[in-house]
Every structure is written in structure tokens, then in C-alpha cells.
Chain A
Amino acid sequence: MTPVTQDKRLLGAALVCAALFCVPAVMHDTFFLRVATEAVMWIGLALSFDVLAGYTGYLNFGHSAFFGIGAYTTALLMMKGHWPFPLAVLAGAVAAAVGALVIGVPTLRLRGAYFAIATWALARAIQQLALVSTFTGGPDGMRLTAYLNPQYFYYAMLGVTGATFFALWFLLERAPFGLKLKAVREDQESAKALGLNPTRLKIQALVLSAIPTALLGGVFAYWVTFIDPGSTLGDLVSDQALVMVVFGGMGTLIGPVVGAVLIFAFKTLFWAYLSAYEVLYIIILGAVIALSVVFLPNGALGMVFRRKRAPAATPGGDAPEGGLDGPDPLEEEA
């Protein structure tokens, strides 16, 4: 991808952001604004999930823990410490970043399924901790003072998600950091030989993924005014983000956005019109994931762009056409 096409895409992203900024001005229906707010939140969650899943190659089933840490820290500081909302949210991000460091050091030594299981288990442990602790309200959760201003929360979500998108664009697509993460994803041993410290890079990626997730969690807590261990620390955030990222296309920034919008739109429409067939929702979602893993390895977006990037995507070791030297049929045998 040349810098020019990247700049065009960035301009496109900026225009989309500007358009999203105008949404509350034209959309006076509270229900739709609520849907839009949640959609923007899921875009942010899918983006932050993709930092680890797509760019670094680690499926973090503990992603929800960062969301919950952000939500609970914000709720606790606002309700018990009487902190102002913005400061409480920022403190939640700091808490999640520290949590990412603590979780990352032992778990990021693991690979593949072991990492997924370890992070899932840690997230469950944190959920149980919130469930049995008294200061978090245990299973009763926590109630926050309601602030009834839908537009405020829409802009808060958009601010976090927009900032996340552009920060990730800069760090992952422009700065060396993104390519270094991809090197670790592709071959950790080879990355070491090139002077990269994989453990350090992976921990940085985990922290980078945790911060926006916790910010969104904090905004979410104040927005919905009630949180409990299930709604914020449960599996939902990790699972949905995974589905969105896989469906949209991993390892890109546009993929998670597209995946989040499509999956969230499907979810909203389903609950609006077909809520009587509740059980079907999970079945359909499962089928979508299974099918997209098999038939759309690069995601919905990857399918659209595949033709443009023709030979680069050839998997395996076959040589499409001879270079200067001409292919030697014996070379592949050796």
C-alpha cells in the first residue's frame, strides 16, 4: 500500500468522522441516537481488539476485563470518591493499562490457544472477584447518578473511538510499530534476529489495546448508569469484538469498523423485529463466523479488495511467475 492511497483512506476516515459528528444534529429520535452511540462504542471495541488479534496475532479473550476495569473504576471513583467523570474515566484507562502490564507479562509468553485460554481464565477470575467483593456491590452491581443527556454520551463515545482510530492509524499504519507487531505475528524467532524484542512489543500492544477499551467501558458505565459483573466483565465484549473483527477483516483498521457496523446492525435489527426467535440469534452469529472463517479468511472487506492485490496474496510457496532468474522446477524440491 503506497502512502498516497493511505492518505486518501485517511481523508475518507476523517470525512466519515465528520459525518458521524453531525448525526445528533439530524437525528432527534432518542432510540436511534442510543443505537448510534452503541454502534460507535462497538467500533472502538473492535478496533482495540484488532490491535492484538489482527496485528499481533493473539486472540485475547480477556478483552472484556479491560472494559470492565474501565467501567468499575469509573463507577467507583465517581460514586465513592466523587471524582468528576472525565478524570474517573482516565483513571480507569490507567488502571486497565496497569492491568495489561500485569496480565501481559505472564500470559504473552504463551502462544495460540494457550494465550486465549489463559486470558479467558484471568477475565473470569476478575469477574468473580467483582462478584464476591462488597465494594463493587457484588452481584447487585453499581448504580451511577444518571446524567440524561444522550448527545453528550454520543459525543463521548465518538471522541474515544475517533481518537482511537486515528491513534491506531498513526501507530500501526504509519509508525514502525505496526510493522514490528506484524513481524512478531508472522515469525517471532525471526523477529528476534532482527533486533526486535517480541515480549516487549506484545506487552506494548496489549497496553495499547487496553486503554481505549477501558475508556469506552468508563463512558459506558456513566451512560447506562448501571453496571454489574455480567454486563461489563462477562464474555460479551470479547466475543462480540472477535466476531466483528473476524467478519470485517483482521489486521486492518477498516475491517473492524466494517465488521462492527454490520454485526451491530444485524444484532439491532434482529432484536427489533425477530426477538421472539431469540435462540436463532446465536445460531446465526455462529454460522456467520464459521462461514467467514472458512470462506472469507481476509474478512468481508478482504473479499472486496482481493482482486486489486492480486499476486501478493498467493499462499504457500508456489511461484506465480518467474522473476529475472526464471523459476527452476528443481528449486522447490530441494
Chain B
Amino acid sequence: MTEPILKVEGLSKVFGGLTAVNEVSFDLAPGEIVGLIGPNGAGKTTLFNVISGYYAPTRGKVIFQGRDVSGKPPYALARRGIGRTFQVVKPFAGLSVLENIIIASFLKHPRRAHAEAQAWKVLEVTGLADRAHHAAASLTLAGRKRLEIGKALALEPSFLLLDEVVAGLNPTETDRTMELILRLRDSGISILIVEHIMRVIMGISDRLVVLNFGQKIAEGAPAEVARNPSVVQAYLGKEAE
């Protein structure tokens, strides 16, 4: 087995008296898509924020490419190859779509002309090229979600955290985004994805990690996890006796 690109070890995040993430551990192999699922409030987004450096963990470690990166700021993690999207999309609204991507491209291409050339490639991949010169604020929700992915991609990351990039899209858009995610995986990027739409998460994930009340309650292949009684209970409640 190859060395995992990401190792989450006994990670906990406590806010005041609330334990949002509780002793969660899992690994992610290079080129793997891991789906992170769980009911609302299970701690998925908190876990994302700890892994991407927005919160420092209360306990536990995040090991990325063999190095302990727990508590490092987000910009330092971005420089090491971690890209992320936000559940509540965060475009630079007053800037053009192209400028949004160029800013991300600066990370690997400090020269403006190179960054711009690179940004156009990302716009092609994400299907935003025809809107390049429009303000990011003028995009539809679908467009803004693709812009989120585009910005993360322009970082040329080795690991992507995708937070509900499909939720709210129509079926055509959903298929296009799923295809895009699979293509990214095929290009060698490891992906951790949070998604509520089961069709998507079951369809693209190599493995699933299930959280409930901040704890990992199951892990494994999608089909296996779907049959796991504690997962069914977390989602649907206990069967009436």
C-alpha cells in the first residue's frame, strides 16, 4: 500500500462546551476520492475547516504528505498543495471571473502573463470561459459553484476538499460536475468531498467516512456503508419495535 497523502489522527475540535468533531481518524490514499457524509450538524464542515487550516484542532493531528500540518494557517496549506471550496460559495464578487481565477493562479505562477494563461485553461476545464469577463457576482449559483472549483483547481493542488459543490444544481449540472470531479481524480488529485446528494456521493466515492454527532460511525466502500445498521439509524432513525 502506498503512503497516504492525508492522515487524520484522533482529531477533535471543541467550541466552548460543544465537541463538534470527536476523535476522528481516517486516511486518504493518493488518487482516491473519499466521501464524507453524515446528517446535518455531524461536524463535516468543521472537520473540513480543521483540515484546511481555518481552525486549529483541539486535539489530534493532520498529517499531509508525511508532515504534521495541524494548526498551520490556510495560506500555508494552500502553498503545500491543499485546495478547498466553501459550502457557502465565496467568489470575489466585484472582480471578473477571469480575475478570480488569476488570483489563485498566482500561487504557482507569480508572473501575471503566466497566471493569466493558466487561468484560461482552468476556465476551459470548468466551462466558464464564455463568462470570463463578467463580474463573478453575475454568475448563476451553478456558475459560482464551478468558480469555486476553478479557484481551487488553479492552485494546482495535490489534494482537494470539496464542500457541497453539487447541492443546489440541476441534474444536468450535477452530471457535469460529477464528470469534472472524476476527471480531476484521474489527473492524480486526491479528493475529500462532502455531499448530501446520495446519487453523487455513492457514484463517485471510492470510500465513505460517516460522521454523526462529531464521531466517525462507519468507514468503507459505499455499498457496504449503505447497509451498515448504525448509518441507517443515523439517517433514518431507529426502527420502531
- Tell me, yes or no, whether A313 is within 8 Å of chain B by CB: yes
Cβ A334 vs Cβ B73 within 8 A = no
Interface size on A, residues (CB 8 A): 38
Question: How many B residues touch the partner, as a band?
Answer: 35 or more
Cβ B151 vs Cβ A194 within 8 A = yes
Which residues of B (118-136) have their CB < 8 Å from a CB of A?
A: 127, 130-131, 133-135
Closest chain A CB from B108 CB (angstroms): 9
- Tell me, yes or no, whether A324 is within 8 Å of chain B by CB: yes
Interface of A is mostly: loop
Cβ A311 vs Cβ B79 within 8 A = no
Which of chain B's residues have a CB closer than 8 A to the CB of A328? 140, 142, 170, 173
Name the contact of B99 in the complex, choosing from A179, A189, A319 (C-beta under 8 A).
A179
Which of chain A's residues have a CB closer than 8 A to the CB of B91? 186-187, 190
Which of chain A's residues have a CB closer than 8 A to the CB of B168? 331, 334
In the bound complex, how far is the Cα of B91 from the Cα of A324, in angstroms?
A: 20
- Tell me, yes or no, whether A143 is within 8 Å of chain B by CB: no
Cβ B135 vs Cβ A313 within 8 A = yes
In the bound complex, how far is the Cα of B76 from the Cα of A62, in angstroms?
A: 31
Which residues of A (275-330) have their CB < 8 Å from a CB of B?
A: 311-320, 323-325, 327-328, 330
- Tell me, yes or no, whether A197 is within 8 Å of chain B by CB: yes
- Tell me, yes or no, whether A267 is within 8 Å of chain B by CB: no
Known: A186-B95, A194-B155, A328-B170. A180 touches B103 (CB 8 A): yes
Closest chain B CB from A53 CB (angstroms): 14
Cβ B138 vs Cβ A312 within 8 A = yes
Cβ B135 vs Cβ A192 within 8 A = no
- Tell me, yes or no, whether B62 is within 8 Å of chain A by CB: no
- Tell me, yes or no, whether B52 is within 8 Å of chain A by CB: yes
In the bound complex, how far is the Cα of B139 from the Cα of A87, in angstroms?
A: 52
- Tell me, yes or no, whether A174 is within 8 Å of chain B by CB: yes
Cβ A193 vs Cβ B127 within 8 A = no
Name the contact of B75 in the complex, choosing from A196, A312, A314, A331 (C-beta under 8 A).
A196
Q: Which residue of A lies closest to B107 (CB)?
A: A195
Known: A187-B91, A194-B78, A330-B170. 10 other contacts (CB 8 A): A179-B95, A182-B99, A183-B92, A185-B94, A186-B92, A193-B86, A193-B152, A195-B78, A314-B137, A328-B140
**A-B CB contact pairs (8 Å), 13 listed:** A186-B93, A186-B95, A187-B90, A187-B93, A192-B53, A192-B78, A312-B133, A314-B135, A319-B143, A320-B138, A325-B142, A331-B140, A332-B141
Q: Which 4 A-B residue pairings sit nearest by Cβ, starting from the closest?
A: A334-B168, A195-B78, A186-B92, A190-B90
